Amino acid sequence: EAQVTQNPRYLITVTGKKLTVTCSQNMNHEYMSWYRQDPGLGLRQIYYSMNVEVTDKGDVPEGYKVSRKEKRNFPLILESPSPNQTSLYFCASSPGIFYEQYFGPGTRLTVT
């Protein structure tokens, strides 16, 4: 089944404790991206990757890191999480930016 998977689905952590949210797709898509969703703000792009080893900042990259070492995986890293990073996070993949974005199920992160 073609899908985007994210892990974990739910995470509660404390300020400053490094964490990684994994994202994997099995559709051989070139383009992958991370978004955060907050009430009233829609989806805001954090980072995107046009291809392996190519990543670029979205609109809200501060406090986040990503890497794209292989086509199928695009992990999101929070080196020192803070409470303002409490949010719902989505990973997405597609053949390219002008094509349908396939979203993962979301990761709800709470930083206390």
Q: Which is nearer to other proteins, 19 or 43 (CB)?
A: 43
C-alpha dist (Å) from residue 18 to 26, 38, 42, 103, 104: 27, 21, 26, 24, 22
Q: Which is nearer to other proteins, 74 or 90 (CB)?
A: 90
Compose the 77-96 pattern: x for residues touching other proteins by CB under 8 A, - for all others. Answer: -------------x-x----
Does 40 sit near other proteins (CB under 8 A)?
yes
> Rounded to a whole number, what is the distance in angstroms from the first to the last CA of the chain?
36
Which residues of this chain interact with other proteins, rule CB under 8 A?
4, 31, 33, 35, 40-45, 48, 50, 56, 58-59, 90, 92, 97-101, 103-106
